Amino acid sequence: MAKGAKKKTGKDVTSADGGGTIPASEVAEHGALPDPKVNSDDELTGKAAKKADKKRKKAEKARKDGAVKQVPWSQVLRVGSGFSLLGLDTGSTPNFAGDKDAGEELMGELQSRLGDLQERLYAESKGGGGRSVLLIIQGMDTSGKGGIMRHVVGAVDPQGVDITSFKAPSPEEKRHPFLWRIRRALPTPGDIGVFDRSHYEDILIVRVHDLLPRTTWSRRYAQINAFEREVVKGGTTVVKVMLHISSDEQKARLTERLEREDKHWKYRPADVDERAHWAEYMQAYQAALDKTSTDHAPWFVVPADQKWYARLAVTNLLLEHLEAMDPQWPAADFDVEAEKARLALTP
């Protein structure tokens, strides 16, 4: 987790009005700003212009590295018609031909650009902007969700990040509709909200363990789609990522947790019990991907047997969505020259 990042159980957020289908790539044109004054990059001068140009060029250089195929990551990893989890090689590295060292070398330059865009988004909200980002991370136990929090989310300024880890519903949460606690945790304008697990647990675990009647959980697919459409219409770009590992890789990671004293704290005996339901979980995930990968909030499935690749892929996915939003520095709401003159007169 980013140092100082706010890990929470949620806060009240007013529900946005429902609306039509809006592709994530076009979210920058919808519900974003009520016409605030901004400074585009072309208008920046001095150090501000140099900083923006330097970070942009570093990211461009990383993307044009020989190991990176010149196709958007959000296109390569997006769930489309006919997608099959069983048909995906969890040890593969789509859109990247390099090795671990090459991938890790690129991360620094990408993280620098990511941090710059996140700061712009946060600053934009101070000038009246209403946009935010919601990164949803799902995956089986040991799939690397914690690593994403440390190496991807941890690369940005913690003051603009809200991380929510959803556990089993509390007694109070059970008294409300299943999306109640999710709505309370939505990011506020300028923030990147991160869900470590999410409302998708309410159509995964309940299905696998038969916790609710089929008639109840089967209705939730449509409810989730409507909810996410509402969230997007309200100005939030939703990025949904499934970290997909193999059963063999999970077994290896659990074995390591048992063999290393410094990892015993991560191990739960219940993890072994859950492995007995692997096939059922894959069926539940496949159904969720089929029914809830929409134009306004598509799913991206990242092969995650290789942790370094999963981190590289999620970094690029988040970066591409922020670049599509193109957040801008807010213009000063005061007379800059007059303030310079006032400041010059002080001791």
| CB-count exposure of residue 255 (10 Å: 0-12, 13-18, 19+) | exposed
Give me the pLDDT at residue 123, please. Answer: 95
Is 250 a domain residue?
A: yes
Structure-token pair, residue 262: 């410094």
**What are the Cα distances from residue 187, in Å, to 9, 18, 130, 151, 301?**
12, 17, 11, 20, 23
Query: Alpha-carbon distance 135 to 152, whole Å?
Result: 11
- 342 occurs within a structural domain: no
Range in 14-18, 81-85, 273-277, 323-327 the model is least confident about: 14-18
Please answer whether residues 74 and 295 qualify as being in contact, where contact means their C-beta atoms are separated by less than 8 angstroms: no
Q: How many distinct structural domains can be found in the chain?
A: 1
Q: Taking the model in full, what pTM does it have?
A: 0.82
Q: What is the pLDDT of residue 176?
A: 96
201 pLDDT higher than 90: yes
State yes or no: pLDDT of 329 exceeds 50.
yes
Residue span of the structural domain in which 146 resides: 6-330
Q: How far is CA 253 from the centre of its chain?
A: 24
- 212 is a domain residue: yes
Alpha-carbon distances of 252 from 4, 90, 258, 279, rounded to whole Å = 32, 14, 10, 18
Domain containing residue 225: CATH number: 3.40.50.300
Q: Half-sphere exposure of 97 toward its Cβ, with a 13 Å CA cutoff?
A: 9
**pLDDT of residue 227 exceeding 90:** yes
